A = this chain, B = another copy of it.
Amino acid sequence: MHQGKTFIISGPSGVGKSTVLHELFKGRDDLYFSISATTREPREGEEDGVHYHFIDVKHFQELIEADALLEYAEYVGNFYGTPKKYVDKAMNEGKDVILDIEVQGALQVCTKRPETVRIFIAPPSWDELERRLTSRGTDSPDKIQKRLLRAKAELQTADVYDYFVINDSVERAVREINAIMIAEHCKPADRMKILSE
């Protein structure tokens, strides 16, 4: 049976990753969006198993000890991680899995599962990223400069990534991600299995 693959999609704040992912998933029941486990409290309107798997610190600790997480990180006092269980289930059902995680998480997954495909969504230019962050109107100029610095720092570890998708338009970014997913399924490791049958 056709086996799914895992694709990491990372990108700096403001690059438009959420919009791209939203478009990517439209009408696609052959794709699975990995839902993180977290120890943070659910916010208004957040559902367990939909937005996050909400678990307590003890449970999270158990998952770490059982090596049941593909990656995890602490962020503002809460833990976030990717349970292997759901990822593997989806792949076994022939679905491709999308992990929306950051560079540090990508590095962890890359160590555990080097076959995971890593895609970085980049802005067309730094000026454009600054413009997008400014036009959101949610951050102070100081915060925006910090986000820009962080984005540039992330790009320094960019050799972790197999592909760079430049989000100059959502349509193009989605087309490129879809192309990458199709191309990766044409790699010898996948196809030689079929041909040796």
Are A191 and B159 also in contact (CB < 8 A) when A176-B183, A178-B179, A186-B176 are?
no
Contacts of A179 in B (CB 8 A): 178-183, 186
Count of chain copies = 2
Interface SS of A by simple majority: helix
Kindly supply a per-residue 1/0 record for chain A positions 158-197, scoring 1 wherever the CB is within 8 Å of any chain B CB and 0 otherwise: 1101111110000000011011111110111011101101
- Range class of the A interface residue count: 20 to 34
Contacts of A192 in B (CB 8 A): 158, 164
Is A99 interfacial (CB 8 A cutoff)? Answer: no
Contacts of A194 in B (CB 8 A): 166
Q: Which of B158, B159, B180 contacts A183 (CB 8 A)?
A: B180
A119-B186, A163-B183 known; 17 new pairs, CB 8 Å cut-off, are: A158-B188, A162-B187, A163-B186, A163-B187, A163-B191, A164-B188, A164-B190, A164-B195, A165-B186, A166-B195, A176-B182, A176-B183, A176-B186, A178-B179, A179-B179, A180-B183, A180-B186
